[in-house]
């Protein structure tokens, strides 16, 4: 005939089983509390072997909870760093766009006209280059180079454009 100790042992085993289910659901804190309850029952029963096993399981679960929290913090820190980099890029892009608008506003009508002329001459030169009319292309590029050189650096830095154009002119001269 089962006695009160048998009922207590069954209750402790039921709590252990429930803790395993909670563990599978990733409810680690609930699993720990269920194991603590089972441990209390085994203490009353004097089952030292079971108590030791439960203590080990509780320690592993606590380490797991601690690790999960650290992992979340690391992930959050990584996400934060990424957001900061994104913000930096966005603000840099805004500054660049604002500078471009400022440059456009600062340009005199004469400068705007020169830039428009350069744009049109480039388009014509590229079209003629595709038709192999290199002598005309060379004349257009040389004229564009003169226009770029006439733009003061304080208004607009055209050094890169000049460099690229000089390379293109050298290349065209090899074709003639």
pLDDT, tens digit, for every residue of 126-162? 999 899 888 999 999 999 999 989 888 877 788 888 9
Q: What's the rounded Cα separation, in Å, for the pair 90 and 144? A: 34
Alpha carbon of residue 76 to chain centroid: 13
pTM of the model: 0.42
Please name the residues in contact with 142: beta carbons below 8 A apart, sequence gap of 6 or more.
169
Cβ-contact 156, 103 below 8 angstroms: yes
Q: pLDDT at residue 121 above 90? A: yes
Residue 23's nearest CA partner among 53, 51, 65 is: 65
| 156 backbone dihedrals φ, ψ, rounded to 5° | -155, 130
Residue 92's pLDDT band, with cuts at 50, 70 and 90, is confident
């Amino acid at each position: 005939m089962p006695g009160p100790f048998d009922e207590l042992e069954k209750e402790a085993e039921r709590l252990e089983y429930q803790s395993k289910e909670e563990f599978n659901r990733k409810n680690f804190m609930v699993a720990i509390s269920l194991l603590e309850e089972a441990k209390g029952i085994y203490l009353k029963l004097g089952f030292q072997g079971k108590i030791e096993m439960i203590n080990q399981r509780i320690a592993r679960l606590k380490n797991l909870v601690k690790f999960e929290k650290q992992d979340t913090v690391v992930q959050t820190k990584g996400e934060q760093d990424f957001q900061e980099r994104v913000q930096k890029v966005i603000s840099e892009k805004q500054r660049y766009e604002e500078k471009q608008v400022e440059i456009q506003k600062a340009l005199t009508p004469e400068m705007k006209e020169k830039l428009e002329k350069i744009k049109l001459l480039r388009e014509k030169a590229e079209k003629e280059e595709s038709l192999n009319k290199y002598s005309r292309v060379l004349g257009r590029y040389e004229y564009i180079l003169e226009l770029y050189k006439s733009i003061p650096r304080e208004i607009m830095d055209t050094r890169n454009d000049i460099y690229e154009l000089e390379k293109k002119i050298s290349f065209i001269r090899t074709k003639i």
